[in-house]
Amino acid sequence: MTNNKKLEQLEQFKASDAGKPITTNQGVKITDDEHSLKVGDRGPTLLEDFHFREKMTHFDHERIPERVVHARGTAAHGTFECYEDASDITMANFLNQKGKITPVFVRFSTVAGSRGSADTVRDARGFATKFYTEEGNYDLVGNNIPVFFIQDAMKFPDFVHAVKPEPHNEIPQAQSAHDTFWDFVANNQESAHMVMWHMSDRSIPRSYRTMEGFGVNTFRFVNEAGQAHFVKFHWKPVLGVHSLVWDEAQKIAGKDPDFHRRDLYENIEAGNYPQYELCVQLIRQEDEFNFDFDILDPTKIWPEELVPLRKLGIMTLNRNVDNFFAETEQAAFHAGHVVRGIDFSNDPLLQGRLFSYTDTQLIRLGGPNFHELPINRPVCPFHNNQRDGYNRMTINKGQVSYHKNSLQQNTPYEVPANEGGYEHYQEKVEGRKVRARSESFKDHFSQARMFWESMTPVEQEHITKAFSFEVGKVEDKGVRQQVVDMFANVSRPLAETIAKNVGVMPPDASIAEVTAPFISKAVSMYENPVPFLKSKKVGVIVNEESNISAIKQSLEAQGITVELISNHQGEIDGQPIDHSLETASPVLYDGLVIAAMFNDTVTNKKVDTFADEIYNHYKTLAFLHQGAVSEEYNQHPGVTDSVDDFIDALKLGRHFDRTNATG
């Protein structure tokens, strides 16, 4: 593994309790950790029992407030390797040398649900990266969808209140299928573009390893000459972008609510390290107004056909956390944590985020010293005149804690920009103080229409079904009607289908579809397939008559993870059986090989249920018992009777050309 300064730093905070005597937090050895101090063996507990009080007080305070949004998440350590010298566009040190390695810590998350919700709900996903650079920490905080619901941070509390469980009954958890969310959408039509992405398969990713990431907001790159570019950030997964189907996502939420968390953890442990290329889109300052959309509008993308991507490096996640709470939960990300060469734009959503993150960490992590927690500490030295406060860990020496001073020769001292000090890009801004929105932000539907028109027929079908499900859960008929009327601006056929499915009137004839500026194939998942095999998980149903070793060897030779399933656990021919038909579930696999049938009808019906589930979710299926494909699925796409054909079909992904599948 590449030398990692952050991991070296974390080592000094690690401790192992194995083989050690139990003590109090003050180091006093304990003779009895089972019983409180009492008056007699049946008498009252004594207040003087300092060990009991310390142990119980710590337990009572072990939980910190969960994040208001992005509460459910998981994380990993890794490295970022720079592809090239990018000093022509930015002063950022970690991007200025080919092959330069920077430690990173990445947290993935759902947005709306609590810590106890499921991984596979329909939701945007957080994708937050902390770069431990030589010039300080840089946090790239984004989502797996490149746009957002609102244009101004002032509305963020309103949006979150609307998407969270409704306050009168705390229902539903981690879902957008309810009245207040859709009421917000219908009455805040700037959300149209984001909702189209949200209703697409992007909001039910197959895994964090196959999920794109976006910085969402518009930032600035500034080089040593003071030249600036507007910039948007992209993380492109090397394995490509892959999703679940909705029926599958719902079932996984019940079968394994930790599905994404488990997938990330197990693959890193197995050495299947997730990788993502960091790409940027760049617009010169002088070209700011050369587009038919406002480049600062967070509800708009910069189409890749107009503003191409430039690859800057690759991130590899190669190490799981040692302690979930100390690292994943205590990690503090902040869009305002930037290094020289990276600056902010006047994106009104970004401007509000710069306040909100710090404010949130103060209450969640107990005060202003959250930067001193091991996971948040930079790898470079930090010196300032900040002192005291909750959880202060640094022991500052000396009598001076202010600037300017003579007692300490005016140190810590300021660093001029030409010697590496951070300096904001000098932008001239004029205008009256107003509460208003730019006229250039008022087109809410053209890019939503572009997204719809850029989808394949399969993706459009999934979006239509998603709208029908989500809006169909809304109890207020008036809200359902408002949603239908709103999305007639995007696609009248879409709105008419939704209206029929949710039981309201078709949209008024006066509502006209907007015109899509052009088609962007880059936003379609299925126009950009990336076939792969390594790390896919396959279930193999076997019995004593199956050629287990040969099947398993062929699959594992391709990097496929194999789990053996039978009518009971134990061993067959020396091979450990991972699951019985009771403990396994087809929704947890990318494909299924049926290499056995059994002597009783009940067991064979369970096998048939497995096959049906795999087939209806468009996954690859092989029938190897007696060399025969089930008559029900004979000649259907992605259904085979050999291991070699199964491997070829599995590599391609889902087989949406099955016209009779119901998933």
CATH number (domain holding residue 166): 2.40.180.10
Predicted structure pTM score: 0.94
Indicate which CATH number applies to the domain containing 494. Answer: 1.20.1370.20
Looking at the fold, whether 593 and 500 belong to one and the same domain comes out as: no
Instruction: Kindly name the residue from 4, 93, 137, 143 that is annotated as catalytic.
Output: 143
In a domain, 10, yes or no: no
Are 177 and 296 part of one and the same domain?
yes
Answer yes or no: do 240 and 361 share one domain.
Answer: yes
Tell whether 618 and 584 lie within a shared domain.
yes
Q: In sequence order, what DSSP letters do the residues of 81-114 get, joined into one string?
A: EE-S--TTT---GGGSSTT-EEEEEEEEEESSS-
The verdict on 212 and 94 lying in the same domain is yes
Q: Are residues 40 and 129 in the same domain?
A: no
Provide the angle, in degrees to the nearest 10, between the axes of the packed helices 179-187 and 477-487.
Answer: 40
503 and 604: one domain? no
Q: Other C-beta atoms within 10 Å of 588: how many?
A: 18
Range of the domain at 255: 73-182+206-376
Are 150 and 291 part of one and the same domain? yes
Q: Is residue 194 part of a domain?
A: no
Shared domain check, 275 and 130:
yes
Cβ-defined contacts of 43-51 (< 8 Å, 24+) = 50/24, 51/24
Residues 171 and 43 in one domain: no
Count: domains in the chain? 4
In a shared domain, residues 231 and 115: yes
Catalytic position from the list 70, 234, 260, 334: 70
- The DSSP code sequence of 343-412 is EE---HHHHHHHHHHHHHHHHHTTSTTGGGSGGG--SS----S---STT------SS--SSS-STTTT-S
User: Residue 295 corresponds to which tokens in the numbers above?
Assistant: 């480049």
Residue 1: per-residue pLDDT: 44
Structural element, H or E, at residue 464: helix 457-472
CA separation for the pair 133, 565 (Å, rounded): 46
Q: Which residues of the chain have pLDDT under 70?
A: 1-2, 626-630
> Is residue 130 located within the same domain as residue 271?
yes
Is 223 in the active site?
Answer: no
Mean pLDDT of the chain: 94
pLDDT confidence of residue 479: 98
Structure confidence by residue, pLDDT tens digits, 63-84: 889 999 999 999 999 999 999 9
**How high is the pLDDT of residue 16?**
87
> Tell me: the pLDDT tens digits for 262-320?
999 999 999 999 999 999 999 999 999 999 999 999 999 999 999 999 999 999 999 99
444 is a catalytic site residue: no
Provide the CATH number for the domain around residue 644.
Answer: 3.40.50.880
